[in-house]
Amino acid sequence: MALMADFERVYEIGPVFRAENSNTNRHLCEFTGLDMEMCIKEHYFEVLDMLANLLCYLCNGLKTRYKEELDVIKAQYPFEDFVCKEPVVKFHFKEGVKMLREDGKEQGDFEDLSSENEKRLGQLVKEKYETDFYMLYGYPADVRPFYTMLDPTDERYTNSYDFFMRGEEITSGAQRIHEPEMLKERIRKFEIPLETLKDYTDSFKYGAPAHGGAGFGLERIVKFYCNLHNIRKGSLFPRDPKRICP
């Protein structure tokens, strides 16, 4: 909605609460969200490239600006330095499926990556490109939310993307549908009551620029940058389904 008011690029940093019974080493019920949204001039790769450059700047800058603090962490939890090569590697979901199949893994063309295949793909990328950070784009439409823009050349896929650190996902993002009638059609397809999203669809009624963005979890970035076994090590007061205090 802020983009509709000609802000062009917006971001926010704040607490995010997830009411999901996720008991894993990479999920929290409360985390610090790093969210951004920006207008697209010609192609949604503009969003990928902007985020990739930002994350490379941050990750590579930490090595010099906060070397002393990282050495303190390494003394207790040894880890290899995070490798973020520029330009950041990005390839289509179809290519990821092909790499996994050539490696002997089962992966459907229109199925999301399992945790096992996600990690294995990260290993294959590290072997081939010598980087811990990469982007996968063009996910199947069946595994993305209703507001994700469909690929204009093949509506079985979308203008969406995930970013990975050390073989695990740190964010999902996409170009958003900015045409209200197309948006309503997708809402109906997902069998969501239109009235529950009226404020959202109305914000596009008088014209909206193409736009996209992503939301990152800060603690998850810390976990994978420092290669910590558990995301709870990257949070001062971790909140999960079994812990709400202190």
Q: 3-class SS at 246?
A: coil
> Tokens 């490109």 correspond to what residue?
129
pLDDT at 43: 97
Whole-number Å distance between alpha carbons of 65 and 68: 8
Q: Is 101 a catalytic residue?
A: no
Q: Is 116 a catalytic residue?
A: no
Q: Is 26 a catalytic residue?
A: yes
Q: Is 220 a catalytic residue?
A: yes
Active-site residue identified among 120, 176, 178, 220: 220
Please give the single-letter amino acid code of residue 122: G
pLDDT at 245: 86
Structure tokens at 26: 């990479």
Active-site residue identified among 20, 68, 80, 195: 20
CATH fold of 3-234 reads BirA Bifunctional Protein; domain 2 (3.30.930)
pLDDT at 246: 84
Whole-number Å distance between alpha carbons of 107 and 91: 16
At a CB cut-off of 8 Å and minimum separation 6, what does 54 contact?
Answer: none
Active-site residue identified among 27, 144, 186, 232: 27
Give the chain's residues under pLDDT 70.
none
pLDDT at 147: 97
Active-site residue identified among 26, 166, 176, 232: 26
Active-site residue identified among 30, 46, 95, 169: 169
